[in-house]
Structure 1
Amino acid sequence: MSDAPQTSGRIVIPNDLGARLEAIAAPLPDPKPLRYAAVLAPLLPAIDPEEGPRLLLIERAGDLRKHAGQLAFPGGKPEPDDRDLLETALREAEEEVALDRRVVRVLGRLAPVPTPTGYMIIPYVARVVSDWRPTVLDPGEVAATLTPSLRRLSDPAGYIHRGSAEWRGQHYELHEFAIHTPPLWGATARMVYDLLQRLDLDPRGGDR
């Protein structure tokens, strides 16, 4: 029997979430012909215990050349001084929303997400272990931050399955979460859905 995070009333993070994720040091797949990018999926403490912990998302600035106005996790491309992709994810979170890595406990990785825009995104899941609040540092990149609760994200009423697709021989499902205008979709929605499944919070009718 799994150490499920949900009870009849409250949603909590399971103690074994790290074991449900891919190990931080596990070998990464060869991205070629794609290029690596990394994001951080930070879990914030609950405000309402009935709603459960929250997941930090950013709304990208509306005048960016790519992905303008879309919801995403903090992240981006590696810089020459980054030791590894985890460093990339942590650095980008610091630069975009002032997330101090000293209050972050990185738990593991979600499955890599290849994108038609030419990247293989490596998502790292972390818990924020303080009452830190996000601050937009660069309005030219980030228009706003959102912190939807796990209950809201896993609510079937706000979830839409958009079918499936294939790209470069890989099959993947298309997910949409109606938590904002515009909704959460695309690569980030695939990451969120992966995380919800690992938390036993599948909005498509898993163990709820």
Structure 2
Amino acid sequence: MDNKKINELKKQFSMIADINGREDFLNSSILIPLVFMEGEYHFIFQKRNKNIRQGGEVCFPGGRIDKSDKNSLETALRETYEEFNIRKEKIQIIGRLNSVFSPVGVMVDGYAGIMDIRSLEDIKFNMSEVEYIFSVPVSFFEKNSPAKHYVQIKAHPSVIDKNGNEINLLPVDQFNLPKVYSKPWGNSKYAIYLYKYNNEVIWGLTARFIIDFINRLKKS
């Protein structure tokens, strides 16, 4: 991918998007960082510090949207500064990708941005949150499709607490709902995408954002 492709890619993005019911989920935002190195663009990934939530996983910089953030783009830029120590003035946003919803109740907005740096050594990452960083050429994802697996998703109208008591979440009888909803229902499969690059596994929501980016790139 070169600068000509970047300019064409901008046409594939829209900064206007939202999702009905967003307020019911944990909302977060990420930056998909791009750096021009060795004659082409690379994605920059981080390995999360093992002592924090989802420790040891590969992801892009980002985090929960705070009430003080004006919008999710501001969240992505703030989190990138906190994790990579790269100020927003050094990042050129080229567009917003489709938001990704996780069945575990997380909604993630994603923005692609070019970092004005020369190499990974310019990123002084926060070691309390990031174990290490690495780059992967965008061309790798253009040439290699992800592995695809599935998990099964069901809706549970009740749960069992730590004392073994059943907690009724959906009052089926009270609202005279069909009896079928008094037991777990649904048999949906949720696709899990995975890329393997050297010794790193890039998967889950991160992989979904990459797929979205590559699909837009191929249309450019």
Length-normalised TM-score, structure 1: 0.78
- Structure 1 SS opposite 2:136: coil
Q: How does 1:92-103 map to 2 (within 5 A)?
A: 92-103=79-90
Bigger-Rg structure (1/2) = 2
Give the secondary-structure state (helix, strand or coil) at the position aligned to 2:77: helix
Q: Does 1:28 align with 2:18?
A: yes
Tell me which residue corresponds to 2:143: 155
- Between stretches 78-87 and 161-170, larger displacement belongs to 161-170
Stretches of structure 1 that go unaligned for 5 or more consecutive residues are 202-206
Amino acid at match of 1:134: I
**What is the CA–CA distance in structure 1 between the aligned matches of 2:205 and 2:139, rounded to whole Å?**
21
Amino acid at match of 1:46: M
Distance 1:127 1:11, change over 3 A: closer
Gaps (5+ residues) in structure 2? 156-185
The answer for the alignment partner of 2:181 in structure 1 is: none
Looking at structure 2, the residues matched to 75 and 194 of structure 1 have their Cα atoms a distance apart, in angstroms, of 17
In the alignment, the residues of structure 1 paired with residue 66 and residue 207 of structure 2 have an alpha-carbon distance, to the nearest angstrom, of: 25
Contact 1:173/1:190, CA 8 A, preserved across alignment: no
Alpha-carbon distance in structure 2 between the residues aligned to 1:17 and 1:173: 26
2:161 equivalent in structure 1: none
Distance in 1 (alpha carbons) for counterparts of 2:95 and 2:82: 21
**Equivalent residues in 2 for 1:122-201, closer than 5 Å:** 122-131=109-118, 133-137=122-126, 139-156=127-144, 159-162=146-149, 173-200=191-218
Q: Flag the structure with higher strand content.
A: 2
Under a length normalisation based on structure 2, what TM-score does the superposition of the two structures give? 0.74
2:37 to 46, 60, 63: 46
1:86 and 2:79 correspond: no
**C-alpha RMSD of matched pairs (Å):** 2.7
C-alpha deviation, 1:12, in angstroms: 6.2
Contact kept in structure 1, 2:43 and 2:135, CA below 8 Å: yes
Supply the distance in 1 between the matched residues of 2:149 and 2:4 (Cα, whole angstroms). 28
**Residues 196 and 172 from structure 1, CA distance in 2 versus in 1: closer, same or farther, beyond 3 angstroms?**
farther
Cα deviation digits, residues 100-120 of structure 1 (max 9, x gap): 211211111111111133210
CA shift for structure 1 position 42? 1.2
| Paired residues, number | 186
Q: Secondary structure at the match of 2:29?
A: strand
Partner of 2:163: none
Identity of aligned residues (%): 22
Map of 2:180 onto structure 1: none
Correspondence for 1:13: 5
1:84 to 1:196, Cα distance in 2 relative to 1, 3 A: same
Query: Letter of the aligned partner of 1:59 in structure 2?
Result: K
Aligned partners of 1:55 and 1:149 also within 8 Å:
yes
Say which SS state the counterpart of residue 82 (structure 1) adopts. Answer: coil
